Every structure is written in C-alpha cells, then in structure tokens.
Amino acid sequence: MGATGRQADLLLSHLQSVLGDRYCLEHRIGEGGMATVFRAQDRKLNRPVALKLLQQKLRTAVGLERFQREVSIAAELAHPHIVPLFDADRTSDDQLFYTMPFLEGDTLRSRLERERQLPLADAVRIARDVADALAYAHSHGFVHRDIKPENIMFVGEHAVVTDFGIARAISAAQDEAGPPIGTPLYMSPEQTHNGPIDGRSDIYSLGCVLYEMLAGAVPLAQPTSLRAVRATVSLELEATVMQALARTPVDRFASAADFRDALAVPGAAAAAVDPRSVAVLPFVNQSGDPALEYLSDGLAEEIIGALTQVAGLRVAARTSSFSFRGKEADLAAIGARLRVATVLEGSVRKSDTELRVSARLANVADGFTLWSKHYDNASMTQVFEIEDNIARSIARELRAALTDWEGRPARPVKAYFTAPTRNLEAYDLYLQGRYQLAQRGLGLARSLELFEQAIALDPDFALAHAGLAEAYTVVAQYGLVPTALVGPRAATAAERALALGPELAEAHCARGALSMVCEWDWDRSRTALHHSVELAPTYVTARLWLAFYLVFVEGRFDAGIAQAERAVELDPLSPLAALQLGMTLLGTGRYELSVALLERARGLATDMFLPTLHLGLVYNQIGRTKDAIRMFEEALVISGRHPWTLSALAVCYASQGDTRKPRAIREELAARARHEYVQSSMLAVLAALVGEMDEAFTLLEQACEEHDGILVYAKRYPFFNVLQSDPRMGRILEGVGLR
C-alpha cells in the first residue's frame, strides 16, 4: 500500500475515533480542493450521509462560528435541484465538517471524463437545472462560490447542486475581505481578485461549465468561439453562453433566472427542444354556452390522445397544456414552458345544430402558421371525424421531423385516431371522472359516479371501465371503503376494459394498480404496469404507478425515481405528478429532496390535501415539528379530518414525547370506526403510539386479512416507523409479500 493509501486509512481511523459516537465512517469517496469526502452512516437517524471534512486552509479562513451559522441557514434551502445539508460541526480536535445526503448518482465531472462533450440538449438541460437552483439560492441571500462539474450531480435525469455548505451570505461576501473560496478554473474575475461578489459570480462559473459541456474544455480568459469548436451550436446559444462569461459583472445576465430563461428561448435552446414535439391547447368555446365546454375540451383531449400514438412525436400532457386555459401567453412562452416546438390552438362555435371548428398549428420559434383549417356547417355527429382529420393533418405536417437517425421515416404516417366512444355525453362524464380521480381527495366518490354514468350511456366504453377500475383501487387505498367490498368490482371493471381495449395503456395500468394495491400480486402488477408504459410511453399515470411499484415493492429506488421524474417531465404542471414524485422520494428516504416537489404540488392544487399531509410527514422526519403540526392541521381542514391526517398528527405529537394527544386522536378514530370504515392499519399505528403493541399487531394482522390498501407501503412509509423495530413486523411484511 502506498503512502497516499496509508494516509487515507489513518485519516479514516482517526475520524472514526473522534466521531464514532455520531457517525460510522465507511470509506473515503474522494478529495477536492475544498474537502475530503467520506461515506458514513448517521447512527442517530440511521441513514447514509456524505461527510465532508474541510481542508486545513479553509478551517482558518472560515472559522467555526461563521461556518455553522451559514450552514444552518443554507440547510433551509429546499429546492429540487439543491442537495440539502444535514449538519455542520467540528471534531474534538477542531476539524470542521458537514454532512449531506449520500447520493449514488454520477457527477458531471465523471460524465465529462467519459464523453468530453455532451449532446446539446443535455448540456442546455443541465445548465437550466443548475441556473434554476442558483436563482432560488440567490433569492434567499446565498451565492454558491464554487460552481463546477464536481459539485453537480445527477438524480435520475436531473442535475442537482451540492456544497452550498461553504457559501457565504451575499451581504457578508460584499462587506468582508477574505481569501478566494472556489476553484480557479471556474472563478469569476472578481472572485479571483478577492473583490465583492454577488449572484453574477455564480452565473460566470455556470457559463464556464456550460462552455465546457459544449466545447469539451474550460474557456480561457478570451474564450474561443463555440461555433468554431462545434458548428451545431446555434448563434443564439453561443451568444447566451458568451454573455454569461462577460468579464465585467454588469455585462452578464442580471440574475440566474434570466440566464435560465435565456436558455429556454426557442432560438437559444433550439437544440434542446425536439422539433418532433407539439402542445395541444384547450380549444376556445366561442359559443357563449358553458355547457359546451366539454366539447371544446373533448376536441383537444382526443387530439392529444391520437397524437400520442404517432411514433416519434412528443406530445405535451393534457394537464400542462390545459394550464394555459384563459391566459394571455405568447407562443414563445408556451413553447418554453412546455418545451415543445409547435403548438395547436383552436376554437369551437355552435349555432343551433351546426358547428364551426377552427384549428391552427404554429411554429413556436417564429410564430409561422404551419397548417390551419376551418370546418364549417359540421354536425355534432361529425366531431370525431374532425378530430381524426386534425390529428392526421398534424402528423402529415410534422412528418419531415418524424425520422430516425438514418433519415428514413420512423413509421408511415397514417391515421392513429380511434374514437373511444360515439357518445359525446359519455365522453364528457369520463373526462370529469378522470379530473376528480386525479385530485385524490373528497372527489374520489364523485369520480366513481361519473365513470358509472359514462358506462351506463355506453357499456362498451373501454376507457370508462379502466377509469372505474382505477378509481375503485384508489378508493380502497385511501380507506374510504374496505378492499373486500370494492376489490371485486375493480377487478370486473379492469377485465372488462382489457376485453374491450386490449391495446389500451389505461386498461393495463388499471389492472396493474389493482394487482399492486388490493391483490398483492406482484408478478401481475409488474407485467401490467411495464406493458402500459410500453404501449404509451407518454401516459403519465402509468409511470406514476410504476414508480410506486418499483420503490415500495421492489425497493429499486433509482428506477422508481426515474419513472416519477419522467412523469413530471411529461406533465410539468400536473399537481398529481409533482405530488407522487415527492412521495416516491419520501419512500426512498430522500426527505429533504421531496420538500420542493410537495410544495410545488401544494401550490398547483390548493384543495388537494395530500401534498400538505406529506409535507407534514417530511417535516416531522427532518425535525421541523412545528412546521409539521401546521401542515397536519391544514390537511385536517382540507380533508374533512381524514384518518390519515389524524394519524399523522398523532405520530408527530408522539415524536415529541406527547402521548396524551395521540390517545385523544385514537379515541376519536375508534369512535368513528363504530359507524364508518377506518383502516385497521391506522388504528394499529395509533395503538403503537400509546404503547399498546400487542393490540397494534392484532390490528395489523386484521389489516392483512382485509388486504388493507395502504399496507403495500408499510415497509418504507413514515406512518409505520413506530412499528419497524418490533420483530413481529417482519411477519406482517411477509404476509403482504414484501421481503
């Protein structure tokens, strides 16, 4: 073993001796200009962490008091592209260290070492993720001071920024003189000369990183033209990078948000937007009759459905496209937000029994009309033919882009549209049912009614049967009715959907969700959910259910997160997608990373109680009990005192050593259980919280017999932490089929 290896072993041994009561040091990960990094296990919270020991030169420069103060503030940064901080302290021999989540993913440096230059779309996407993180941090008074490929990691397909632990508040950085903190190759000129800095210093550093991703080398003081190195870089993208690299701060972008948005401008980021992409906006109802909203929505919905079947075409999800309903937004803004190259917009007008439908396909980059058509004097029975015609026309217009890498057509352009039902009223009821189901709250019972009404009007409406099966599954999972009552009904609906539409992703998704939640048939669930994604890669619901299956059943964390992230990418403005990505992260123990997603879902749907409930669960896990209680109390009101919200509040009180309030909550739910259904799993948790473990496991065994819909999550959900240390929990998990 060489001297370097012996020194590393000695350092690891020494750290273990001075930190052994708090952390179990496992091995050295690497070393940089700022710190030596170790993988460790937090003994108190039983989670893996990356422990970073600051280099000697920084210990004197930073000082413990300021270091702890700034890290404690930085720890409050909650953003999906920022790796949060856990702790900052010193060892008994005055060495400074801090900890953060241990991530298995690659660093950008590792990827650059393998590839040297990245695809244009990847480079722009990574830079936008980092700029988004910086915009958030700067708005909270922090500059990073050391943006470089080593401090950019990947979680799934997204970039996250590490090492905000040595950042200094902007005001302090402007007022204090001190040694430059950062990596020379990526330092801004003002940072190199130890001058006052603000967020524009980070913009310069990110400009260096983006330049390196595109050119394969860090820029010099006078950077070589990007287009001279790589001809595929657009003039707009080169200008954006060069503005970020301006030597004088005032000549750069005024903010990281401006830099991020410049990378989203169609001309600047053309390479990052697939030309084979389209968003279908809700058609405008010009009839003045609110009752015809279903017709304008149905037109757009079905055109979306038809276009998703076109090989090679990326179609923005309905939730995201429909978020622009009634808003004044130009094509460039819509294209940037939804990351599409083309937009279809249209209108519907009805007079007596005749319709006038107008549609226009426009290019986002220049607003040029690619195709337009008016359908005059159409009858209500011709609506589906109009939808078919529009879908065909869009596919034909974009056919030049729908080619594989050799330039051959990916598939012959043909009609992909099949009317799901000829009954417009049934279709309207189905759309309403899907909306209520996606709210995951008080509207669940209403969704059942709507799907059943749609089926009554058209018994052969396969999508309505699939929706009904999924709604029954969610109703059982949420404890509104026993699984024994609705499970068979869900199975009947799912099998009917498969018989009517064996090619429908929705039918296979409903079957897979039912098999997971109510039947605990893992083989069937796995097969059905994977097949659903294969049939319709853009079907967001299937990816969300598959993410839950991969994380909570198989324990394949990275694969599950990747599915949930893809769902959010497909439907970025969907509250359900953001919620379930947050819940997926929660299930993997990545609590801090889930906060921003849950906050995002909460902002997108203020009447949905689940984001608020799960924020409370996360806050309680990371020690923010006051915030947790505030969230739970809010969720109680929104949900009408759903048993989950009461049980979660009891868990929070118990974590503070309070058993009186959990007992009161238990009495409330026990009283309700005498006249309404309350999941045995929740009653078991409450029994455990007040120390009645025998009663808790009697209830859990009952929950197993009932196929309680929440037990599929029992191995990894914070609700059940109080039970995990009891050896009897292993038998419960075996009963569910979780190993």
- 339 vs 36: CA distance, rounded Å: 39
Single-letter amino acid code for the residue at 552:
F
| Sign of the torsion angle spanned by Cα atoms 586, 588, 594, 597 | negative
- 212 vs 45: CA distance, rounded Å: 39
- 329 vs 436: CA distance, rounded Å: 27
DSSP 105-174: SPBHHHHHHHHSS--HHHHHHHHHHHHHHHHHHHHTTB--S--SGGGEEEETTEEEE--GGG--BHHHHH
First-residue to last-residue Cα distance in the chain: 40
Q: Quickly count: other Cβ atoms within 10 Å of residue 161's Cβ.
A: 26
Element (H, E) at 472: helix 462-477
Q: Give the residue from 574, 576, 577 showing the smallest Cα distance to 563.
A: 577
Q: Give the residue from 564, 548, 558, 562 showing the smallest Cα distance to 477.
A: 548
The residues that are catalytic are 146
Contact 370, 363 (CB under 8 A): yes
> How many residues are there in the chain?
739
Q: Quickly count: other Cβ atoms within 10 Å of residue 488's Cβ.
A: 12
Residue 689, Cβ density class (10 Å: 0-12 exposed, 13-18 middle, ≥19 buried): buried
Q: What share of the chain is helix, strand, coil (3-state, %, to 5)?
A: 55, 10, 30
- 427 vs 213: CA distance, rounded Å: 48
Contact 120, 272 (CB under 8 A): yes
Contact 293, 331 (CB under 8 A): no
